[in-house]
Amino acid sequence: MSSITDLSVETLRKAANLKERIAALEKELNQLLGSSSKVVAVKGPKKRGMSAAGRARIAAAQKVRWAKINAAKAAVKSAPVAKKKFTMSAAAKAKISAAAKARWAKVKAAKK
């Protein structure tokens, strides 16, 4: 669609003539209908809103939901943390194993 400055003089005259004819037809229609006011464009249906009480109920319910979530998070944080299990190095295991074998060797030697 072109702007009004790009239109030719002839096109502008046609547009002005159309507008005058529309105005004349509206005037004639108003006389027939007995209305002296201009015809007003009909608006669409009004959008439904929400009452303040409805918004308050929704906000209260959402606060309750968040309170439950935050309480669950706090309970998890306050729970005692399990201690890390002690792990033994391979060298320590080998040393203990060698000591146990030596003890059993003494027991077996004492039986013979």
Global pTM reads 0.32
Which of these, 19, 23, 40, lies nearest to 31 by C-alpha position? Answer: 23
Distance CA 25, CA 17 (A): 12
Q: Which H helix or E strand runs over 43?
A: none
- Give the model's pLDDT for residue 97: 96
- Give the model's pLDDT for residue 109: 93
Q: Write the CB contacts of 36 (distance below 8 Å, at least 6 apart in sequence).
A: 30
* Cβ atoms within 10 Å of 52's Cβ, excluding its own: 8
DSSP 3-state assignment of 82?
coil
Contact 29, 39 (CB under 8 A): yes
Q: Can you say whether the dihedral through the CA atoms of 49, 52, 55, 61 is positive or negative?
A: negative
Each residue's pLDDT tens digit in the chain (112 positions)?
567 777 788 888 898 999 999 999 988 888 888 765 555 677 788 888 899 999 999 999 999 999 999 998 888 777 677 777 888 999 999 999 999 999 999 999 998 8
